[in-house]
């Protein structure tokens, strides 16, 4: 029996060719783009890549994650220095969602991760990183180089999540450097322990959400600098009198015009009502009651 002839995919007209690409998962698209200069050029011509989102992860391992249309398919490259893991493939499927993972062995993790990041974001025509997740005490000696790489190659980050693996590690310096050099446009999550009460990291303006569970360094002046729709603070250095003044200014629209939701953790709610809200009209709402606003 004669072997089937190879399918001449590159000879297809653009519309059917694009339909072939739509049927591919992100791994297949990237692998195809790496065959030759011609396949890379053809891959870059596709027009539906806006449906994909890219996540870069700097942890104990370096990862590049590509989410397909409507998050139905997620493909993750994991760079590892463990040779036995190289080439390992895993798949996790749930109903309409499918996750594919490939481990890539390298003895030069940072540089090969950078190369793949550039290739992926070039192929998918991304000038913005959709999600950046960084563990600040991982790859410490390379942290500035990584941040500079991100700054040089992409205009902004939509959502940024900052972590640390060991609470005793001081990661303030690298956090400040990232905030100075990376433009964050939507959500910022601080899940690391700021050591310096005078932490001078620049919180981006006009964010959608700012989550600071370890916000003991936030005083009244820093609170006034925050420009965000949703703010969640679990600790702070703001006095009862300052909270009273801030809430009055907020209600009077004298400050924080973008703020629509503020959540703070206070030692006791009744004390908060007595010491902060004593001269501010307010209503205590039962969380079990659902209210529907009709217009």
Query: pLDDT band for position 94 (50/70/90)?
Result: confident
Instruction: Tell me how crowded residue 98 is: count the other CB atoms within 10 A of its CB.
Output: 16
Q: Are 216 and 193 in contact (CB under 8 A)?
A: no
Q: How many helices (H) and strands (E) does the chain have?
A: 9, 11
Query: Cα dist. 293→87, 97, 285 in Å?
Result: 54, 34, 15
49 contacts: CB under 8 Å, gap ≥ 6: 123, 124, 125, 126
Q: Are 100 and 76 in contact (CB under 8 A)?
A: yes
Assess whether pLDDT exceeds 80 at residue 28: yes
**For residue 48, which of 21, 82, 27 has the smallest C-alpha distance?**
21
Give the Cα separation of 79 and 99 in Å (integer): 17
Of 48-52, 79-83, 125-129, 175-179, minimum mean pLDDT range = 48-52
pLDDT in tens, 186-199: 999 999 999 998 99
pLDDT in tens, 137-152: 999 999 999 999 999 9
Query: pLDDT band for position 295 (50/70/90)?
Result: very low
Query: What is the three-class DSSP state of 217?
Result: coil
pLDDT in tens, 110-119: 999 999 999 9
Domain extent listing, the chain: 1-125
Q: Are 106 and 27 in contact (CB under 8 A)?
A: no
Of 63-72, 159-168, 263-272, minimum mean pLDDT range = 63-72
Q: What is the dihedral of CA 81, 85, 86, 91, to 10 degrees?
A: -130
Beta strands, E only, 106-224: 128-135, 156-163, 184-191, 207-212
In Å, the largest CA–CA distance within the chain is: 90
Give the Cα separation of 134 and 136 in Å (integer): 6
Give the Cα separation of 213 and 194 in Å (integer): 10
Give the Cα separation of 99 and 74 in Å (integer): 5
Give the Cα separation of 53 and 49 in Å (integer): 9
Give the Cα separation of 48 and 77 in Å (integer): 22
Instruction: Tell me how crowded residue 111 is: count the other CB atoms within 10 A of its CB.
Output: 12
Give the Cα separation of 122 and 44 in Å (integer): 8
């Amino acid at each position: 029996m004669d072997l089937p002839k190879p399918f001449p995919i590159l000879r297809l007209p653009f519309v059917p060719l694009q339909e072939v690409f739509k049927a591919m998962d992100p791994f297949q698209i990237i692998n195809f783009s790496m065959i030759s200069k011609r396949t890379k050029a053809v891959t870059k011509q596709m027009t539906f890549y806006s449906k994909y989102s890219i996540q870069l992860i700097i942890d104990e391992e370096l990862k590049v994650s590509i989410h397909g249309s409507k998050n139905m398919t997620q493909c993750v490259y994991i760079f590892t220095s463990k040779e036995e893991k190289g080439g390992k493939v895993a798949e996790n499927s749930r109903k309409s969602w499918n996750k594919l993972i490939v481990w890539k062995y390298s003895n030069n993790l940072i540089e090969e991760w950078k190369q793949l990041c550039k290739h992926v974001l070039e192929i998918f025509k991304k000038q913005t990183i959709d999600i950046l997740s960084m563990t600040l005490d991982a790859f410490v000696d390379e942290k500035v180089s990584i941040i500079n790489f991100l700054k040089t190659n992409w205009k902004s980050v939509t959502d940024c999540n900052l972590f640390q693996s060991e609470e005793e590690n001081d990661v303030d310096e690298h956090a400040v450097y990232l905030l100075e050099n990376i433009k964050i446009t939507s959500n910022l999550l601080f899940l690391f322990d700021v050591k310096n009460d005078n932490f001078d990291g620049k919180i981006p303006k006009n964010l959608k959400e700012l989550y600071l569970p370890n916000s003991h360094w936030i005083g009244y002046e820093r609170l006034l600098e925050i420009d965000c729709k949703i703010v969640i603070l679990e600790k702070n250095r703001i006095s009862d009198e300052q909270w009273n003044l801030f809430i009055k200014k907020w209600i009077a629209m004298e400050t924080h015009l973008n703020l629509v939701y503020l959540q703070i953790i206070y030692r006791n709610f009744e004390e908060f009502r007595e010491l902060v809200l004593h001269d501010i009209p307010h209503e205590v709402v039962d969380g079990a009651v659902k209210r529907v606003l009709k217009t």
